[in-house]
Structure formats: structure tokens, C-alpha cells
Chains A and B, each alone.
Chain A
Amino acid sequence: GQNIDQPTEMTATEGAIVQINCTYQTSGFNGLFWYQQHAGEAPTFLSYNVLDGLEEKGRFSSFLSRSKGYSYLLLKELQMKDSASYLCAVVDSNYQLIWGAGTKLIIKP
């Protein structure tokens, strides 16, 4: 079967750095997405990785290792508004999106 694993919940302090991990086992791989979802709102796109390495976009970076079936989302200089769920999604060999259950990130002052 296809599987995406993420921690259920993480807590971090305002101003700090946090890394949210995602491991996947899918039938093929055609890219990996990270989305952010604030409570009561729709998911919004954060990043897309299809090649190994680090993609940086402001305070957010996303890393991919296809050989390890592993990605992480790195959030720097955490702000209270970063409190949200972070969803990892993998595009499989049939170009279908397989979603993780999401990681709820709690930011404390």
C-alpha cells in the first residue's frame, strides 16, 4: 500500500527553527508538495520538490531525498501566525496525489 508518515503534532517557540519530517512509501514518485492549512481554512501551497536537494523560499525551505523516501519542511524565525497544520503530499506513478495526515504545529511565545 501507499503510505505517508508525518508526526501528528509538534511544538516550537516563537523565533526558533522547526523541522517537520515526511517519509513516504509510494508506487513511484513524481514530486512532493507541502501545503499549509490554518484551522478552519483551506490548504495553501508552500513548496514543490521533484529533484533531490533543498528549495528555499523566504523563511521556509523544503528538502527532498528520493533514495531515502524522505522530505522535510524547515521553518525559520517562527512567528505565531505559523501555527497551522502542514501537509505532505506525494505524486505517485499514476500522477495521483497521496496525502499525509498532516502535522499540527503549535507555536508558543
Chain B
Amino acid sequence: DTAVSQTPKYLVTQMGNDKSIKCEQNLGHDTMYWYKQDSKKFLKIMFSYNNKELIINETVPNRFSPKSPDKAHLNLHINSLELGDSAVYFCASSQFSDRGPGELFFGEGSRLTVL
């Protein structure tokens, strides 16, 4: 069983389209994340969410929105796609404690290409 799974793995689409990436974790963790990794390989946090709080990186355009139907799922919706959105998007989960976020478990990544 895959601990953190995200779909699709590859996504090629045109500028201006709207797309979604789904993420599910079966680890029972209380916190999920979306990261963007660009061509320079820098991991940039976009959102972190647990059943109490959504934390949004203020630099993320509001075209990006997380949707969490339950604590095991955190989907990423992107409206009006732009060329600069091309990147690999990683979903991750962890169990938050009084020591902080704990070890992150990552999904395999979703490579988005905007043409």
C-alpha cells in the first residue's frame, strides 16, 4: 500500500485551463502539505493543512486553492494555468506534535507542463 499517493503523475495542458491534482494518505497523519519544486529543484511550501488550520504561503497566487474533503485527502486546484506553473508538485503528510511537523512522507510527485 502506498502511504501517500497523488494523481495524476503527469499532466500536460494548455494555458488558461483549470486542473486538479488529487492526494490521499493512509498513514493516519493529521497534517498534509502541497509543495512546488521548480526546475532549480527548490522545494517551496504552498499550503499546509490539518483539521484545525490552513496555512497558506502568502506568495502563492490565489489561482491555487487546496480542498480537503477529509483528513486523509488534500487536493490542489489550479485555475487559469500559466506557463510559470510548470513544475513538479509534491503532496506530503506528517503527524504534528509538540515538537513540530515530524517526518514528512511525500507522494511520488505530479509533473505539470503548461503549454
CB distance from A99 to the nearest CB of B (A): 5
| B38 shortest CB reach to chain A, Å | 11
Given A42-B90, A85-B41, A99-B42, verify A91-B100 contact (CB < 8 Å).
yes
| Shortest Cβ distance from A98 into B: residue | B45
Segment among A44-52, A53-61, A73-81 that sits at the interface with chain B: A44-52
Q: Tell me the bound Cα distance from A85 to B107 in angstroms.
A: 17
Interface size on B, as a range, is: 20 to 34
| Residue among B42, B44, B48 making CB contact with A102, cutoff 8 Å | B42
**A interface with B by C-beta (< 8 Å):** 30-31, 33, 35, 37, 41-45, 48, 50, 85, 87, 91, 95-97, 99, 101-102, 104
Using an 8 Å CB-CB cutoff, how does the interface string of B45-72 with A read, 1 for contact, 0 for none? 1001000000100000000000000000
Name the prevailing secondary structure of the B interface residues.
loop
A31 touches B99 (CB 8 A): yes
- Residue of chain B at shortest CB distance from A37: B41
Main secondary structure of the interface of A (DSSP, over half): strand
Measured CA separation A64–B63 after assembly (Å)? 39
Cα(A104)–Cα(B41), bound, Å: 10
Q: Point out the residues of chain B lying under 8 angstroms from A48, CB to CB.
A: 103
Q: A31-B100, A50-B99 are in contact. Are A102 and B106 (CB under 8 A)?
A: no
